[in-house]
Amino acid sequence: MRKSPQARLLQHYRAHARDLPWRLAPGSNEAPDPYRVWLSEVMLQQTTVATVTPRFAAFLARWPTVEDMAAAPVENILSQWAGLGYYARARNLHACAVEVAARGGFPDTEAQLRQLPGIGDYTAAAVAAIAFGRDAVVVDTNVERVVARCFAIRRPIKDARPEIRQRAAFFYERQPAGEMAQALMDLGATICRPKAPDCAVCPLGPDCAAYATGDPASIPPKPPRKTRPERHGTAYVIEQDDHLFLTRRPDKGVLGGMAALPGSDWADGSAPPSNAPTIRHVFTHFALTLRIESRAQPPSGTEGWWHERSAIADAGLPTLYTKALAAFDAEAESAEQRLPLLP
């Protein structure tokens, strides 16, 4: 008798599971650590495994338990998060840790987890299933693609999510939800990739409707790309005695609460021409052109602090401002090399 698709998928997962620092190996007798599961799921939202892996280790080294994270100032969490993007996640991470520590631990049901700060439907389902063995239908980006292909759903993902979730329940029916979730995620990440899926080794190949079409990569179709709005602004590099003046972004909005170079508000539209060094940084909903200028003093009324220039890597600057500093330093070095030699 031929094995069911679910059985073949779990068999494949048990033989080929990715070795990830937040995951127990298939068949392990250890109990999953809800803190590690939750932390990894939050960090992995819209961020690659390769990027998250070293950062996950750094977080655990600094805050081994959820109680340790709850006791830390939120500014420390933001600083450690620098470079991971989507910075509201860091604020929610701390708020969630505080609430979990106050409760004495993570709740173990999907509904209760969903009530915690920063935990949406997907994360609640993933933590409930993986950390606590609860029945849940866990559907992330990789799972969406696998399901869309298995059932040949020929609509963009964003338009087909209700159907995809309904279809995904097929895989979880009478199966260990945590293991099935990780099996589907691994399949989407390593075999059922967005481009060039490796259908020849896929355990779901015999039952995949997209594979049967001969063009599985065309499913799901991609929606038309929207034009990204442009914004522009100025950042100031202010230096005194080998120290750099830094400020903090407002709590609400883009890069909320993060360390930053002082500067102007960001205006809509394309940047005007400038001889100053500039960078272009793409956010989710807009692209920013930032001009970098030198100043002798902080703008009037700007609150901030002086940070040692040689230790700027410890300041927790997000990628936008590390790029800005790098562009400023490169321009300064180039200008110095252009100076004529004195006789």
Choosing among 2.40.30.270, 3.90.79.10, 3.30.1330.10, 1.10.565.10, the CATH entry for 230-338 is: 3.90.79.10
41 is catalytic: yes
Q: Where does the chain hold its CATH 1.10.340.30 domain(s)?
A: 5-218
Q: Would the pLDDT of 60 be above 80? A: yes
pLDDT band (50, 70, 90) for residue 224: confident
Where does the pLDDT of residue 27 fall: very low under 50, low under 70, confident under 90, or very high at 90 and above?
A: confident
Instruction: Locate CATH 3.90.79.10 in the chain.
Output: 230-338
User: Rounded mean pLDDT of 223-239?
Assistant: 92
Give 107-150 pLDDT, tens digit per residue.
Answer: 999 999 999 999 999 999 999 999 999 999 999 999 999 999 99
CATH topology (fold) of 5-218: Endonuclease III; domain 1 (1.10.340)
Per-residue pLDDT at 339 exceeds 90:
no
**Centroid of chain to Cα 41:** 9
pLDDT digits (tens, 9 = 90+) for 139-187: 999 999 999 999 999 999 999 999 999 999 999 999 999 999 999 999 9
pTM, full prediction: 0.83
Region 59-75 average pLDDT: 96
Please give, one letter per residue, the 3-state secondary structure of 89-158: HHHHHHHHHHHHHHHCCCCCCHHHHCCCCCCCHHHHHHHHHHHHCCCCCCCCHHHHHHHHHHCCCCCCHH
Q: Is the pLDDT of residue 343 over 60?
A: no
Question: Could you count the other beta carbons within 10 Å of the beta carbon of residue 28?
Answer: 9
- Whether residue 323 has pLDDT greater than 80: yes
Per-residue confidence (pLDDT) for residue 313, from 0 to 100: 87
| Residue from 124, 164, 145 nearest 37 by CA | 124
Q: Among the options 30, 41, 308, 331, which is catalytic?
A: 41
